[in-house]
Structure 1
Amino acid sequence: MMAEGTKAGLSVMWKGGVILEYRDLHIAFDPIIESTKFTHVFVSHAHFDHSRGLSFQGVSRFTTPETKDLIMASRKWNIEKVETLLIGDKVGFDDLEVQAFNSGHILGSCLFRLCTPEGTFVYTGDLNFSKTLITEPAEVAPCDILVIEATFGSPQFSFPSRDVIYKELVNWAIECILEGQVPAFRADAIGNSQELISIFNRFTEIPIVTEPSVTRINRVYESYGFRLNYVPSRSLQGAALLASRKCILIAPKNVDLSYNPTFRTALASGLSMVFGGSGERFPLSDHADFPHLLEYVASVKPKIVYTYHGGRLNETLARLIERRLGIEAKPLPAEPYRV
């Protein structure tokens, strides 16, 4: 049943994904729940919480080649028939056109802009609006309707500059090694891990050892031209380096490293500001922090903003967008809403 004020035409809602309905089209962005109503599925990037839609069968699926390769390296999904779009490519359905733009998050990540006679719509997926060693900032895609993530949609999330974080990471790692311990970083296998490798490759000569799931992702990055210097942990050289305690270990966030007393652990993630358990914490994030979210909204100049993917912060970000930018904003509704 449609919400009050909804009529035939362009509508958007949250229903296990961002769902846009336009005439006979039901387009799902990063869905986590299958539906026979979907006519097309678009996946913004390879992180698991956004990419499940590529495993859905019986529906046309679209993503970037990089995202497809990252998923094939990390999961056993049947995605051979997934259609790929390069950044900048367009695909059309009747009088609706979808274009992919760089979202600045990880390799192959994109935001999608839909153009229709009734207006333009942008879905950001996960967004980073600052330059890193391995990504360019998200592209500004002007639109009428903006659906933006709210992962860090509160003023409490204001990250230090990349230069400051890089310096702190390097200094801490050197300190660990001088004290006879292995600096062991836990980070997302896709994205943050490759940025960590790039940091230490550029600013130090310390050998990097990577756990298997990180190594598999590294090889995809290398296939797209990234130069990463690292040693697999399960190789003889990797084992020797770890035994020498003169290296850095990079492992996924979900790996328990407490089994080895020579490891001194650290979490490298924007979420380290609120989570992380024991060990050091470095807010190395592949998401936009609160100031950058506002900056992106201001750059896009939408008529209305819908916030999503931030839990309780959806409401916080929407309220502050209205207060600080004077742009109408609200959490993405769970029923079709005429836009």
Structure 2
Amino acid sequence: MTTPLLAFNDKGIYCAIADVYLDPWKPVTNAIITHGHADHSRWGHKNYITHKTNVPIILHRLGEINVSGVEWNETFTINNVKFSLHPAGHIIGSSQVRVEHKGEVWVFTGDYKTEDDGISVPYEVVKCDTFITECTFGLPAFKWTPQAEVMENINNWWLENQAEGKTSILFGYSLGKAQRLLKYLNPEIGQIYTHGSIENMTNVLRPMVEFPKTTLITRETKKEELLGNIVLAPPSAHGGTWIRKMTPFVTGSASGWMAFRGARRRRAVDKGFVLSDHCDWYSLLDSIKATGAEKVICTHGYTDIFSKYLRELGYDARTEKTQYEGELSEIDKTEE
């Protein structure tokens, strides 16, 4: 029996021929990192390789590490195994990893979405034999509304709250979601205030993307300054003393999970907006078909249901357990 090009072990996704791991969750010597979210880029590896736009992100989050950045589609070879990174469209700097050896091609998606958000490099279809895919939202119930429509609803919600003399507090993960929201908030409505974790991450990304002006909330910020304006905050700030001093306010959350009935109530927010940085059910299926892959490995999300459906379609599909958490993981461990 031949050894697979990529295998799953207790440290991560391993290419034994090259002695390289993809997004390992335990410390290893050589790690290729798809993007900056906490479950995919962890501290403790000896050598990191990632896309060059992800370098400042993981340096900001992990501190001093030995990291090298590569371009899109740039091939680098390790022990006769060819690697290259391709846009995943998930967040800024997010990549898929293409791995080729002796004519066999595998692709690991990391996290990805196919809708062009206007700030990430759009998802690129990469042909392969085996496709390792997330399926965070791998249920038919998940079908996303176009981003432009969601952002129009968010700006209208802000206007309504402003008319009532209230502060709008919008929750989104400090890396990715917050910047996507910020990019399309209408600064003509009012001022955009930020929690420190979002302000710091946005400042890392400003050299790459043009964002509206933001104002950091500090201890000196008075709640009267916030009235009628909008505050971007990470989900971890909800319910804390930081937010209570902003009354009167209205809360909103932007997440794929808001598609579930009851999610808004469980998260104790006033308004839910369905906006995800992952594929919906239909985008997952279209992406898999476009790769031409015969074998599909589902790594996180609704893996059992999704892989079963793929087998019914004729794919050689299976699941593998990982420590990737999809959209849940983006509640950043460092954002407090």
Amino acid aligned to 1:222: R
| Runs of 5+ consecutive residues of structure 1 not aligned to the other structure | 1-5, 335-339
* Distance across 2 between alignment mates of 1:205 and 1:241: 18
Aligned counterpart, 2:162? 177
Shift of 1:110: 0.5
DSSP 3-state at the match of 2:185: helix
Matched, 1:270 2:265: no
Query: Cα 1:99–1:242, aligned 2, differ >3 Å: closer, same or farther?
Result: farther
Query: Cα 1:16–1:262, aligned 2, differ >3 Å: closer, same or farther?
Result: farther
Shift of 1:76: 4.7
- Give the stretch that moved more between structures: 158-167 or 225-234: 225-234
Query: Cα 1:317–1:128, aligned 2, differ >3 Å: closer, same or farther?
Result: same
Aligned counterpart, 1:31? 24
| Runs of 5+ consecutive residues of structure 2 not aligned to the other structure | 323-336
* Distance across 2 between alignment mates of 1:163 and 1:182: 23
* Distance across 2 between alignment mates of 1:8 and 1:180: 64
Aligned counterpart, 1:50? 40
Amino acid aligned to 1:151: T
* Distance across 1 between alignment mates of 2:89 and 2:287: 12
Aligned counterpart, 1:67? 54
Across the two proteins, how many residue pairs are aligned to each other? 313
Identity of aligned residues (%): 23
Deviations 1:256-291 (A, max 9, x none): 255133221111111233445112111111111111
Query: Cα 1:9–1:287, aligned 2, differ >3 Å: closer, same or farther?
Result: closer
- Preserved CA contact (<8 Å) 1:45 1:67: yes
Aligned counterpart, 1:216? 200
- Preserved CA contact (<8 Å) 1:128 1:288: yes
Query: Cα 1:119–1:244, aligned 2, differ >3 Å: closer, same or farther?
Result: closer
RMSD: 2.2
Aligned counterpart, 1:322? 311
Query: Cα 1:224–1:144, aligned 2, differ >3 Å: closer, same or farther?
Result: same
Matched, 1:109 2:103: no
* Distance across 1 between alignment mates of 2:277 and 2:4: 35
Aligned counterpart, 2:327? none
Aligned counterpart, 1:149? 134
**TM-score, length-normalised on structure 2?**
0.86
- Preserved CA contact (<8 Å) 2:155 2:186: no
- Preserved CA contact (<8 Å) 2:137 2:279: yes
- Preserved CA contact (<8 Å) 1:14 1:332: no
DSSP 3-state at the match of 1:177: helix
Aligned counterpart, 1:337? none
- Preserved CA contact (<8 Å) 1:152 1:290: yes
Amino acid aligned to 2:16: E
Shift of 1:201: 3.5
Aligned counterpart, 2:236? 254
- Preserved CA contact (<8 Å) 1:273 1:283: yes
Q: How does 1:1-339 map to 2 (within 5 A)?
A: 6-8=1-3, 10-13=5-8, 15-22=10-17, 25-35=18-28, 40-52=30-42, 55-57=43-45, 59-73=46-60, 75-79=61-65, 81-201=66-186, 204-234=188-218, 239=221, 243-257=225-239, 258-259=243-244, 260-274=246-260, 275-276=263-264, 277-279=267-269, 280-310=271-301, 313-324=302-313, 326-332=314-320
DSSP 3-state at the match of 2:233: strand
Query: Cα 1:154–1:15, aligned 2, differ >3 Å: closer, same or farther?
Result: farther
